[in-house]
Amino acid sequence: MKGPTLAFVVAFVVLAALHQDNWNWDRADLVFGFLPVGLAYHAGYSLVAAVFWAVVVRFGWPDRLEAWAEEPEEETDEAGGGGR
């Protein structure tokens, strides 16, 4: 596994672990006066997930795969309905 890919995998595992916010389980305090902290944490988590994927898309995009898909092959496997 190459450096950037490994970094993204580690970051993904850390993010997945952070989903389990046991420390918020019994807390009922409100953020901004209306958002229960358990909900505010996970709403923020969604934003962080979007940022994480933006970074992956920016720095870990599989360009090679895209080029491979576009390479012409002699024939396709599926003729009926499957042509490009």
Partner 1 sequence: MTSIWIIIAYLGLLLAFALGSKRFFRGTSNDYFVASRSIGPFMLLMSVFGTTMTAFALVGSTGKAFEIGVGTYGLMASSSGLIHAACFFVIGIRLWAIGKRHGYVTQIQFFRKRFQSSGLGYLLFPILVMLVVPYLLIGVIGASKTMMGLTGPKGPNPGMFPELFGATNGAIPPWLTGAVICLVVLCYIFAGGSRAAAWANTFQTLVFMAMGVLAFTLISNRLGGLGEAIANADPGHLVRTPAGEAGVSKVTFLTYMFIPLSVGMFPHLFQHWLTARSAKTFRLTVIAHPLCIAIVWVPCVLIGVWATGVPALEGATPGAVLAKMVGVLVQDPVIVGLVTAGVLAAIMSSLDSQFLCLGTIFTNDIVLHRARREYSDKAILLMARGFVVAIVALTYILSLVLFEQNVFDLAVWSFSGFAALTPLVLAALYWRRATKVGAYLSVIATAITWFVLFKRSGFGGELTVFGGVMPVAVCWVAGALGMVIGSLATRPPDAAVVARFFPQR
Q: Which residues bind partner 1 (CB under 8 A)?
A: 12, 15-16, 19-22, 24-28, 30, 33-36, 38-39, 41-43, 45-47, 49-50, 52-54, 56-57, 61-62, 64-66, 68-71, 73, 76-84
Describe the crossing of helices 3-18 and 37-59 by its angle, rounded to 10 degrees.
Answer: 170
Q: At closest approach, how far in Å is the CB of 34 from partner 1?
A: 4
Q: CA dist 59 to 3, 11, 70, Å?
A: 11, 13, 21
- Residue 3 or 69: the one with the smaller Cβ distance to partner 1 is 69
Q: At closest approach, how far in Å is the CB of 43 from partner 1?
A: 5
Residue type, 1: M
Q: At closest approach, how far in Å is the CB of 4 from partner 1?
A: 14
- Residue 3 or 22: the one with the smaller Cβ distance to partner 1 is 22
Q: Do 8 and 56 form a contact (C-beta atoms < 8 A)?
A: yes
**Size of the chain in residues:** 84
